[in-house]
A and B are shown apart, each in its own frame.
Chain A
Amino acid sequence: MSTGCIDPQAGLRELLEFSQKLAQGLGNLRAAAGVEAGCSERETVYRDGKIALHRYRSIAPPAGVAPLLICFGFVNRPWMMDLQPDRSLIRRLLERGLDVYLVDWGYPDGAERFDDLADYLEGYLHDCVSHVLDTHAIDALNLLGVCQGGTFSLCYTALHPERVRNLITMVTPVDFHTPENLLAKWIRGIDVDALVDSQGNVSGELLNVVFLSLMPFRLTQQKYVGLVDVLQNPQQVENFVRMEKWIFDSPDHPGEVFRQFARAFFQGNALLAGSLEIDGRRVDLRNITQPVLNVFAQQDHLVPPSASLALGRCTGSKDYSTFSLDVGHIGIYVSGKSQRELPDRIATWLKERTTK
């Protein structure tokens, strides 16, 4: 295509420079191949099949608040919360004296294909909560739900409000039918029963393709062109590769959970409709009367702010507040801005509600 605006010689120079940067940076890329993730010391304190409850070792004097249990979703592995020393929400929280637990769902396989939301919430998550409560001899803990794990946490809190002292939701979808929610629109016309019956567990690979398809040119091309700009910097290359590893380390979604989640939330918008039942009990967000902090990302293309903000309209909490950052869905976990501001906000918010 003739642009009429680029000097051909300058264009050639640009291509040459790009090639040189690529060639010179390949060594750094090669060196980053074995990069590892996860940086904070932890101990597995409870295990049930593939599900593990980890407790992170404290690194600061206790803040005097109830332990914080982090509940992640199935879509990716939870180690995004503790990626590396300078990008670890968990480490920042530990530095502020919080006692942090994390539920790890593991990699579900064929044995879990019929496990449904009741098994995960009333079974596994409930047992993990019980373990923490018993360990600390307390009645209620602080719960932090992330993304899909946030939706799980909302359901759990609505069903067992007496066990959750404070609830924090992070990039959590509540209203699945807002106009920006492309993922929900894509799922709405799909015969979820036929999909799950034919797939069993829904593969992480398939889900990744779907997520990439939301912004295919940025996520499958431009990002890698941009990588060439930082190839000279081994640290940045390592960060990039570590992030890649996280993004594509995608467990399969247990079939029944997917079926229920897609039908109830994506198709039926069940949290707003009040139509979800788990183990025969209706999930009513008005049962959530404890303090709620709703954290969302302003540039989130996966969970648009409008999807998260709906929570304010439907909980029964009189102490509801929001916190947002001008970052995307991933940036909320790892961006410098998030690392500087979010842990402080969470720790302060919890401390304020402990002394009240």
Chain B
Amino acid sequence: MSGAANDPFHASFEQYFGLARGVWELATRALQSAGDPAAQARTFSEAFGGLRGDRQPPPPSWMQGWAQAIAGMPGGLPGMVGGAPGASWLPGGLAWAGPDIPALGFTRERQEAVRRLGTLCARVIERQQELATHWRAFWEEALRALGDEAARRIAAGKPPGSIREIYDLWVECAENAWARMAHAPAYLESQARLVNAFSAWRTEQQSQMDAALRALDLPTRGELNSLHLRVRRLRAELRRLEKLLAPPRSTARATPRRGTRARTRKVRS
């Protein structure tokens, strides 16, 4: 039960249910005082004025969601149908109900896409924080090394004689500490995970941007890629044919190749 009580969806439901019950009660009381408009008005005023505590309005995220929905929908439903520019209203959707609730309704695919983006972005942040722990350890090690090295030199009767000398010593200690960290398997893994998380996030961004461009009938990266690949295939085929048609090298040397070159240039430019 405590699990259910901590569940944001459960809590929101309770609040919403409480609000609905309150509205129902005050409507019933108002109806009971039928025939006396002044009493009806008083009843409504007192009843709504008294909606506090467990009868507060739904939680801010819920409200925010709808507020964003209303504010972010250009042209209402047509905006939703037309394309992604209106998609900014989506994150609020059912987000308050928890990330594990499947997206529902007409815009479910878009809701899912926005959720994916959020999840991938969160992963990037998580990986950054993971990498930052290595950096923190690095700073500690570099500073400790500087202190140790300075102490060693002082003990040896050769203390750093200038600010510049201390600075150069710092750079040396920092670079050594950096190299130790940068070569360590744990750091390599962490850094690679961040890069990979960033790539996944960027790919999802591009996919959603492509969806928006498609909705506006503008060229997408996917379409450009297809065209580039077609041109490349044609060029490869051209190169293959040129090789087939080219005379053997001994003959080729005796023949001026300017014409061939000019053709090649034109095609490949």
A residues in contact (CB < 8 Å) with B: 3-6, 10-11, 14-15, 18, 46-49, 110-111, 113-115, 118-119, 122-123, 127, 130-131, 133-134, 137, 139, 182, 185-186, 188-191, 194-195, 197-200, 213-218, 221-222, 225
B191 touches A186 (CB 8 A): yes
Chain A hits for B200, CB < 8 A: 194, 198
Given contacts A5-B160, A127-B264, contact A110 B224 (CB under 8 A): yes
Interface residues of B in 145-177 (CB under 8 A from A): 150, 154, 159-164, 166-168, 170-171, 174-175
Q: When the two chains form the complex, which single residue of B163, B228, B257, B269 contacts A113, counting CB atoms closer than 8 Å?
A: B228
A114 touches B232 (CB 8 A): yes
A-B contact count (CB 8 A): 121
Q: Mark B185-213, 1 if CB is under 8 A from A, else 0.
A: 00011011101100110110010000000
A6 touches B203 (CB 8 A): no
Can you offer 17 A-B residue contacts whose CB atoms are under 8 A? A3-B160, A4-B154, A5-B150, A5-B161, A47-B265, A48-B268, A49-B269, A114-B228, A118-B236, A119-B236, A134-B253, A134-B257, A185-B188, A194-B196, A198-B206, A217-B171, A221-B171
Closest chain-B Cβ to A143's Cβ sits at a distance in Å of 17
The majority secondary structure among interface residues of chain B is helix
Given contacts A137-B253, A182-B182, A217-B171, contact A114 B159 (CB under 8 A): no
Q: Give bound CA distance, A119 to B229, whole Å.
A: 13
Please give the number of chain B residues whose Cβ is less than 8 angstroms from any Cβ of chain A in the complex.
Answer: 49
- Indicate whether B183 reaches chain A with its CB closer than 8 angstroms: yes
Task: Please indicate which of the listed interface residues A5, A115, A139, A215 has the most CB atoms of chain B within 10 Å of its own CB.
Answer: A5
Chain B hits for A200, CB < 8 A: 221
Which residue in chain A gives the minimum CB-CB distance to B142? A217
- Indicate whether B252 reaches chain A with its CB closer than 8 angstroms: yes
Q: When the two chains form the complex, which single residue of B166, B171, B196, B221 contacts A190, counting CB atoms closer than 8 Å?
A: B196
- Indicate whether B239 reaches chain A with its CB closer than 8 angstroms: yes
Closest chain-B Cβ to A124's Cβ sits at a distance in Å of 9
Chain A hits for B202, CB < 8 A: 198-199
A222 touches B168 (CB 8 A): yes
Closest chain-B Cβ to A11's Cβ sits at a distance in Å of 5
Chain A hits for B257, CB < 8 A: 130-131, 134
Chain B hits for A123, CB < 8 A: 235, 239
B269 touches A188 (CB 8 A): no
